[in-house]
Structure 1
Amino acid sequence: MPILVPPVLPAGALARLPQPVIPAADGLLLRPWRKEDAPGVHAAFQDPAQRQWHGRFSESVDEVEGWIERWLDDWTEESRASWAVADADTGEVVGRVALREIHLEDGCAEVAYWTVAGARGRGVAVTATGALTRWAFEEIGFHRLELTHSTANEASCRVAAKSGYDLEGTRRSYVLHQDGWHDMHLHARVNVS
């Protein structure tokens, strides 16, 4: 069957290049993950607040090394793209920002993020989300980026709003967390350039 609408982004739009380091404001940068980041990620996932919203627990640094390998492979597969949010001077990981559910043909992806407990309240998630959004729109040419979070996660709702993601609606009983089914807010930004 003939295709009437060409893909927004061709296959290879990401994988044709090495995963970039993306400069961000406030002394942060987004960089590809490194094996030596595993202890910091493991520590971040011991935090009960992290597990509450992400439904994941790390039993060991070795397990996180496997996560990092997967995150790096995702780039070449163009299924997801994940960056360490790091202090530009020290290299210390203060969070993660990612594109999930990448659909190149539609020019769409979902933005996800987390920060380590010690970095919360400092605007790290907003800064990282803003840098990733600019890169995805201006450098790659994505058309639409979505961001979802539990309606009970007020901090994530503030990050979405401060990052310019408009609230479009609520997906009822959409994600199962440890404490049951959660309604999820759907926020989005559209590339108008």
Structure 2
Amino acid sequence: MNPINERIPDVVPAGRMGGAAQPVLRIPDAGLILRPWRQEDAPALAAAWQDPAIRQWNRPPTGGVEQARERIARYGRRWHEEAAATWGIARADDDSVLGSVSLGGMDLRQGTAEYIYWVLPAARGAGVALHATNRVARWAFRDLGLHRLELTHGVANTASCRVAEKAGFALEGTKRSATLHADGWHDMHLHARVDG
């Protein structure tokens, strides 16, 4: 390793995230909680994967409840590996699942991560994604200590673009032909928010 690089400390020390339980993040003003996915959520997760809009803009598996259970177990492992943090977005009053928000591609050494989120049809247009995005950003910067969060979405996904802009993620450019979806390669907008 380059001796100069050895003097650069990790932005977030190893173990800060995975050494603790994944927190429940509350959004009282919106009546929402962000909580770790649970095995009993598997039917809701499997059903969400079938939603046409979620399928259009994300790359969910095509499996059923058993594959959803495996994915939920993977979410827990990825937290402890300090590779990703995934929450179910739920109503605070009845705990029903409304969507999902994740920080993937985490690089604690560099202090970066990328947002991934989706919201079920019944909760769209009510600010659920915006509330979840802002709450996770607050946790990522204040509690975990990340420095930069990125959010990418298909350029034709105007709803995600509005969420990014309202959440303070500046548009930095377009990644051409960056993500393969069922209908071909998509250009992606790159937004970012930096702590401080």
Q: What is the TM-score of this pair, normalised by structure 2?
A: 0.95
Aligned to 2:17: 14
Deviation (angstroms), 1:55: 2.5
Q: Does the aligned pair in 2 maintain the 1:58–1:64 contact within 8 Å?
A: no
Partner Cα separation in structure 1 for residue 169 and residue 79 of structure 2: 24
Aligned to 1:65: 69
Paired residue secondary structure (1:105): coil
Deviation (angstroms), 1:59: 2.6
Structure 1 stretches (4+) deviating beyond 4 angstroms?
none
Of the three residues 185, 188, 193, the one matched with 1:189 is 193
Aligned to 2:109: 105
User: Could you give the per-residue CA deviations for residues 140-163 of structure 1, whole angstroms, max 9, x where no partner exists?
Assistant: 111000000010111110111111
Aligned residues: 192
Q: Does the aligned pair in 2 maintain the 1:44–1:117 contact within 8 Å?
A: no
The letter of the residue matching 1:9 is V
Of the three residues 183, 187, 190, the one matched with 1:179 is 183
User: Could you give the per-residue CA deviations for residues 29-83 of structure 1, whole angstroms, max 9, x where no partner exists?
Assistant: 1101100111111111111111111122433111101110111111000111100
The letter of the residue matching 1:166 is A
**Residue correspondence of structure 1 range 41-190 to structure 2 within 5 A:** 41-190=45-194
Paired residue secondary structure (1:168): strand
Partner Cα separation in structure 2 for residue 57 and residue 94 of structure 1: 18
Partner Cα separation in structure 1 for residue 172 and residue 40 of structure 2: 39
Paired residue secondary structure (2:150): strand
Deviation (angstroms), 1:182: 0.6
Partner Cα separation in structure 2 for residue 168 and residue 49 of structure 1: 25
Partner Cα separation in structure 1 for residue 61 and residue 126 of structure 2: 24
The letter of the residue matching 2:106 is I
Q: Does 1:23 align with 2:26?
A: yes
Partner Cα separation in structure 2 for residue 148 and residue 89 of structure 1: 31
Gaps of 5+ in 2: none
Gaps of 5+ in 1: none
Partner Cα separation in structure 2 for residue 45 and residue 139 of structure 1: 31
Of the three residues 9, 24, 39, the one matched with 1:35 is 39
RMSD: 0.9
Paired residue secondary structure (1:184): strand
Partner Cα separation in structure 2 for residue 82 and residue 154 of structure 1: 23
Partner Cα separation in structure 1 for residue 60 and residue 149 of structure 2: 24
Partner Cα separation in structure 2 for residue 49 and residue 63 of structure 1: 20
The letter of the residue matching 1:85 is I
Q: Percent identity?
A: 53
